[in-house]
């Protein structure tokens, strides 16, 4: 009995690492768990980005915005003070834009609450409104300066920064942004924990195979690579499925908010860069899953010789 | 123990215990020479499998010194051990074939682990399977192979990468006498090419089938030297024939 020819010489080792094992499947529901996590992450990230855009657009819109109200019950005096204030404001160099809000527009704003009576200045006296925009940011000092300028000619004028009215809205938006960030962090941690459990489970069910590869000279990196490839394909599949679900949810929510017709909400759309960030989420998820699987497997392998 | 003793494997005063139990191997000292053929014998429970585990690096000893391929194994970092393992072929008593791989893929495993390119794997594996009479079963999964076929597949996997040391635990336990003889001839052929072979067996008939073999006998965890080959090893040239 003669030996096979190739055994007469040493086999050539090295070169590219070829397939060692077929795909070692992780637990069955893994892709779907990842899909759900990615879908929720996509929605949370989209929410955070939309809120960020909304806050930025609203802040840009009202930056430098000041409202002057002439609160005077007598219509003639109110009209006089309003015109005088308008004239003073028009002549100031730090004022970029001044507009008196027409009484019809004011009545239309109040009409949902006061009905047709809002248009009757005699029945319900409403203040005269002047909308102005200052050059640069509105500070308490500048507001005081405006008040002093109007105090003599228009003693019934009240001067307020528009931002101060929206401060609670911005505070709420900031809280929602933190909530979205917290959700993303929690979802990432939960995804990593799910992958960790799946990798541990797969390690347990493939213990014999791993030991054999180990005894045949397989390195920890090669064994971890088997699991990495498996989790990478699961995570990619789950991630893309989750992205589709997330996209659908965003589009649906976008339509719902657009239907509100609110000027504030309209500033909360997503720009092209936001869509790129959202589209990258499945790949970030895949990277997180692969790194988690690798660290889990390497930590477990270190316990055997 | 000197580095230039010429041994491919050297054990010096090695002991092994599992946990806090008493030692299963005690004061084991021997040298295996390149190209020699050893039978490791002993009654069940004598420590043969534990000794083989030390040889194929599944265990570190509790005490003592082991050198392999001229290097101190005890001080080797864990990350260096795969390189040593790739130079050792192992036939496990329970075969340990990977159940979801075909016979072909099981035999190809050491080549793939070693990084051999896929294009170069097919021919040697086909040749090997033909040689052990499994060429017609190359696509079969282990569960569909008979005990003897699984054994031959396990042996093919152990020798495919042409190891420098071959360690076999009861390699003929599940095959008929003809196949047992054939497998021993394979081991002899590898041995003649320079592979050091260690076969653990309790089959005394096997010992006679390899006339130039040396015998290591384990008795309650201690090594005896019935042929004197361990105390007075043959000259290296003589061993290599």
CA dist A233 and A206 (Å) reads 18
Q: Which chain B residues are within 8 Å of A218, Cβ to Cβ?
A: 82, 113
Is there a contact between B116 and A219 if contact means CB atoms under 8 Å apart? no
Q: Strand, helix or coil at B215? A: strand
Name the least confident of A20-24, A298-302, B27-31. A20-24
Q: How far is A239 from chain B (nearest CA, A)?
A: 28
Whether the predicted pLDDT of A39 surpasses 90: yes
Q: Considering only alpha carbons, which residue of chain A is nearest residue B99?
A: A209
- Paired tokens of A148: 């002093």
A121: confidence class by pLDDT, cuts 50, 70, 90: low
pLDDT in tens, B67-124: 999 999 988 999 999 999 999 999 998 899 998 889 999 999 999 888 888 888 999 9
pLDDT in tens, B157-181: 999 998 999 999 988 877 778 878 8
Angle between helices A220-260 and A207-215 (to 10 degrees): 130
Say what the pLDDT of residue A242 is: 94
Whether the predicted pLDDT of A14 surpasses 50: no
CA dist A210 and A204 (Å) reads 9
Q: Where are the beta strands (DSSP E) in B120-239?
A: 165-169, 196-200, 214-219, 222-224
Is there a contact between B162 and A216 if contact means CB atoms under 8 Å apart? no
Say what the pLDDT of residue A8 is: 47
Say what the pLDDT of residue A17 is: 36
Q: How far is CA A139 from each of CA A95, A160, A164, B222, rounded to the nearest angstrom?
A: 14, 10, 11, 92
B183: confidence class by pLDDT, cuts 50, 70, 90: confident
Say what the pLDDT of residue B82 is: 93
Which of A3, A11, A211 minimises the CB distance to B161? A11
Phi, psi of A191 (to 5 degrees): -60, -45
pLDDT in tens, A93-116: 888 889 999 888 888 888 877 777
Question: Which of B56, B109, B155 to mutate: most A Cβ within 10 Å?
Answer: B109
Q: What is the mean pLDDT of chain B?
A: 86
Q: How far is B157 from chain A (nearest CA, A)?
A: 9
Contacts 24+ apart (CB under 8 A), A271-279: A271/A53, A274/A46, A274/A49, A274/A50, A274/A53, A277/A45, A277/A49, A278/A42, A278/A45, A278/A46, A278/A49, A278/A243, A278/A246, A278/A247, A278/A250, A279/A243
Which of A208, A212, A218 minimises the CB distance to B82? A218
CATH topology of domain B9-224: Rossmann fold (3.40.50)
pLDDT in tens, A171-192: 888 898 899 899 999 999 998 8
Whether the predicted pLDDT of A42 surpasses 90: yes
What are the strands of the beta sheet with A95-100, ordered from one edge? A95-100, A128-134, A65-70, A157-161
- Greater confidence (B206 vs B82) lies with B82
Which of B59, B113, B115 minimises the CB distance to A216? B113
Q: How far is A299 from chain B (nearest CA, A)?
A: 13
pLDDT in tens, A190-236: 988 888 888 888 788 788 888 898 999 999 988 888 888 888 888 89
Q: Pairing relation of β-strands B196-200 and B25-32?
A: unpaired
Is there a contact between B79 and A6 if contact means CB atoms under 8 Å apart? no
CA dist A155 and A83 (Å) reads 13
Which of A1, A4, A208 minimises the CB distance to B127? A4
Say what the pLDDT of residue A29 is: 80
Which of A2, A21, A215 minimises the CB distance to B90? A215
Q: Which chain A residues are within 8 Å of B116, Cβ to Cβ?
A: 11-13, 15, 18
Name the least confident of A22-31, A143-152, B2-11, B224-233. A22-31
Percentage above 90 pLDDT, chain A: 25
Is there a contact between B131 and A4 if contact means CB atoms under 8 Å apart? yes
- Paired tokens of A242: 């989750």
Beta bridge partners of B71: B68
Say what the pLDDT of residue A191 is: 87
Hey, where are the domains in chain B?
9-224
Residue A109's Cβ-count burial label (10 Å; 0-12, 13-18, 19+) is: middle
- Greater confidence (A261 vs A12) lies with A261
Say what the pLDDT of residue B1 is: 45
Hey, where are the domains in chain A?
25-59+167-301, 65-136
Percentages of chain A per state (helix, strand, coil), in multiples of 5: 70, 10, 25
Q: How far is CA B114 from each of CA A7, A90, B87, B91, rounded to the nearest angstrom?
A: 15, 84, 10, 18
Q: Considering only alpha carbons, which residue of chain B is nearest residue A210?
A: B98
Quick one: average pLDDT of A250-262?
80
A266: confidence class by pLDDT, cuts 50, 70, 90: low
Whether the predicted pLDDT of A250 surpasses 70: yes
Q: What is the mean pLDDT of chain A?
A: 82
- Greater confidence (A304 vs B223) lies with B223
Contacts A–B by Cβ distance under 8 A: 115
Phi, psi of A60 (to 5 degrees): -65, -35
CA nearest neighbour of A235 among A290, A184, A296 = A290
Q: How far is B82 from chain A (nearest CA, A)?
A: 4
Say what the pLDDT of residue B131 is: 86
Cβ atoms of A188 and A266 closer than 8 Å = no
Say what the pLDDT of residue B108 is: 93
């Amino acid at each position: 009995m003669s030996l096979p020819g190739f055994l007469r010489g040493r086999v050539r080792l090295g070169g590219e690492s070829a397939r060692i094992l077929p795909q070692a499947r992780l637990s069955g529901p893994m892709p779907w768990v990842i899909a759900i996590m990615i879908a929720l992450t996509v929605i949370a990230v989209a929410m955070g980005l939309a809120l960020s855009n909304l806050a930025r657009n609203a802040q840009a819109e009202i930056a430098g915005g000041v409202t002057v109200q002439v609160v005077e019950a007598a219509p003639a005096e109110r009209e006089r003070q309003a015109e005088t204030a308008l004239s003073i404001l028009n002549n100031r160099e730090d004022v970029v834009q001044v507009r008196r809000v027409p009484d019809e527009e004011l009545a239309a704003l109040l009409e949902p609450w006061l009905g047709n009576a809002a248009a009757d200045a005699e029945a319900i006296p409403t203040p005269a409104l002047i909308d102005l925009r200052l050059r640069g940011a509105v500070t308490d000092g500048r507001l005081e300066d405006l008040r002093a300028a109007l105090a003599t000619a228009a003693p019934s004028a009240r001067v307020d920064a528009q931002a101060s009215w929206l401060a609670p809205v911005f505070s709420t938006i900031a809280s929602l942004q933190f909530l979205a960030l917290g959700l993303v962090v929690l979802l990432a941690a939960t995804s990593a924990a799910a992958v960790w459990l799946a990798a541990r489970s797969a390690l347990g069910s493939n213990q014999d195979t791993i030991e054999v590869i180990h005894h045949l000279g397989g390195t920890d990196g090669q064994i971890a690579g088997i699991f990495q490839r498996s989790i990478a394909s699961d995570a990619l599949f789950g991630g893309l499925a989750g992205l589709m679900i997330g996209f659908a949810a965003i589009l649906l929510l976008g339509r719902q908010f657009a239907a509100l017709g609110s000027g504030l909400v309209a500033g909360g759309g997503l720009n092209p860069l936001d869509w790129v960030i959202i589209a990258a989420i499945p790949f970030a998820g895949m990277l997180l899953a692969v790194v988690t699987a690798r660290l889990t497997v390497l930590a477990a392998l270190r316990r055997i010789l | 123990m000197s580095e230039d003793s010429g041994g491919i494997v050297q054990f010096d005063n090695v002991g092994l215990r599992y946990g806090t139990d008493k030692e299963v191997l005690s004061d084991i000292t021997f040298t295996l020479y390149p190209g020699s053929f050893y039978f490791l014998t002993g009654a069940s429970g004598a420590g043969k499998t534990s000794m083989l585990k030390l040889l194929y690096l599944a265990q570190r000893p509790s005490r003592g010194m082991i050198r392999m391929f001229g290097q101190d194994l005890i001080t080797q970092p864990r990350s260096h051990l795969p390189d040593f393992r790739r130079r050792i072929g192992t036939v496990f008593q329970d075969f340990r074939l990977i159940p979801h791989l075909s016979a072909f893929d099981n035999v190809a495993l050491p080549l793939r682990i070693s990084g051999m390119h896929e294009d170069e794997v097919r021919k040697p594996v086909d040749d090997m399977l033909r040689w052990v009479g499994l060429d017609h079963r190359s696509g079969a999964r282990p569960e569909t192979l008979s005990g003897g076929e699984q054994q031959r597949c396990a042996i093919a996997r152990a020798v495919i990468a042409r190891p420098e040391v071959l360690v076999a635990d009861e390699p003929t336990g599940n095959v008929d006498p003809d196949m047992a003889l054939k497998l021993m001839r394979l081991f002899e052929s590898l041995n003649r090419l320079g592979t050091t072979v260690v076969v653990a067996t309790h089959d005394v008939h096997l010992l006679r089938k390899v006339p130039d073999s040396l015998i290591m006998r384990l008795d309650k965890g201690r090594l005896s030297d019935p042929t004197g080959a361990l105390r007075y090893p043959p000259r290296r040239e003589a061993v290599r024939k």
